[in-house]
Structure 1
């Protein structure tokens, strides 16, 4: 039986991934702050260490898949927590579980990024550079005086780059690693942003050619495809699942 760990398993995309994997006969190890197989607070180094240890132990030291879906939205008032959960809560588990994945069968990992990663000018942004340098204290300090959009989109931009930067090493270890970049998806995270007094109108006005928000199950379908054997040559990619939103906003960039 395949074993896959999923962070953010209690709601939204993470919960949809868990349900789909369970229907496929996969043993799922859910990770969340509550209502999960493994309860861990990924906003702290101690919580991330706990999660890595618990996943390693419960998987018997062999993991076939990892989905990093835990995240906080732009509406969250604690901006440093967005940096800690969205970026460090993903990359610390990636790096901490790399060797456990390497012992798995056709192992693959998928990070849930966001199409908002390309909505700003983040290439040389100090916050993003601090994230990529793995300086959590600096990143948290830099973002404390910014805004929710920068905290969220910047963390997802850095996560996309972290995935791609690891593709060479991970591929040589036999582990496929990809990111999924959802657009507006009908989850508690999006509802929090859509109801925000500052960000709400912008979220509701997004140019989505397909004319609707995604269902979590639609994002989960792509994630589970990337975990499976039919995606055996997909590696180091960021796959947009956003109803055409990115194409509408950046038609000449890809």
Structure 2
């Protein structure tokens, strides 16, 4: 039985991914702030370390899969928190569990990114370079100084996507796969919070995919389960948009 860790497993996409992987025969180790196998706060270095240690204890140092779903949106209490969870909370787990994955059977890791990573200007924020340099204090300071949590969100998703792409060669040489799934709007508590926010609500409600609706968590989970399976054994270092056509609508000439 494959052992796969899923962060953000208590709700939304993470809960759907956990269910899909269990249905495919995986033993899932869920991580969330509560209502999970491992309770941990991935916004802090201590919380991340505790999560990694708990995973290694549960899996005996050998892991087959990792899916990083945990994240916060533009309605988070601070832009710095967005950076802490969406970038450092992901990369710490990927790096910290890499050795265990290297010992697994056909190991594969996946990061839940976002269509927001393609947002104009997300790639040029100074906080992106700070994230990629591993300077959490600086990245969080820059994000808070900007005072635009929606920009921090887009930049965090761009940075974590770039991080994953940059690892592709080294991971591939070790027989390890790493991919990113970039959802559009998905009916989750995170999306509902954005709809209810007076700053972003109208824009979120009006940004409708060509298919005319938001996605459902199980639709993202189905793609994740495929990418974590043997059937996707040659899919590596890529970004898969599951967005109802949003990316094609916004960037028809870019792919």
Q: TM-score, length-normalised on structure 1? A: 0.98
Deviations along 1:217-254, one digit per CA (max 9) or x if unpaired, are 00000011110001000000010000000100110011
Asked if structure 2 preserves the Cα contact closer than 8 Å seen for 1:120 and 1:153, the reply is: no
**Structure 1, residues 68-110: CA drift from partner, whole Å, max 9, x if none?**
0000011112221110000000001000100100100011000
Structure 1 position 124, deviation (Å): 3.1
Q: Which runs of 4+ in 1 moved over 6 A?
A: none
SS in 2 for 1:234: coil
CA distance in 2: counterparts of 1:120 and 1:9, whole angstroms: 30
> Structure 1 regions of 5+ residues with no counterpart?
none
Matches of residues 50-69 of structure 1 in structure 2 within 5 Å?
A: 50-69=50-69
Q: How big is the shift at 1:120?
A: 2.3
Q: Which moved more, 1:85-94 or 1:75-84?
A: 75-84
Correspondence for 2:5: 5
Match for residue 22 of structure 2? 22
Q: Distance in 2 between matches of 1:130 and 1:120?
A: 19
Give matches, 1:1-254, under 5 Å.
1-145=1-145, 146-254=147-255
Distance 2:176 2:51 in 1: 20
Counterparts of 1:129 and 1:139, CA distance in 2: 8
Give the superposition deviation at 1:60: 1.1
**Cα displacement string for residues 157-212 of structure 1 (whole angstroms, at most 9, x for unaligned residues):** 00100000010111111110000000000000111111111111111111411100
Greater mean deviation of Cα atoms: 153-162 or 139-148: 139-148
* Cα separation, 1, equivalents of 2:24 and 2:181: 20
- Provide the rounded CA distance (Å) in 1 between the counterparts of 2:111 and 2:134: 17
Deviations along 1:37-81, one digit per CA (max 9) or x if unpaired, are 001100000000011111111011111100000000111122211
For residues 50 and 120 of structure 2, what CA distance do their matches in structure 1 show? 34
What is the TM-score of this pair, normalised by structure 2?
A: 0.98
Tell whether the 8 Å contact from 2:123 to 2:155 is kept in structure 1 after alignment: no
Contact 2:108 2:176 in 1 (8 A): yes
SS where residue 105 of structure 1 aligns? Answer: coil
Query: The residue matched to 1:144 in structure 2 has which SS?
Result: helix
Q: Using the alignment, how far apart are the partners of 2:118 and 2:124 within structure 1?
A: 13
- Structure 2, unmatched stretches of 5+, are none
Distance (whole Å) between structure 2 residues aligned to residue 226 and residue 24 of structure 1: 12
Number of aligned positions between the proteins = 254
SS at match of 2:34: coil
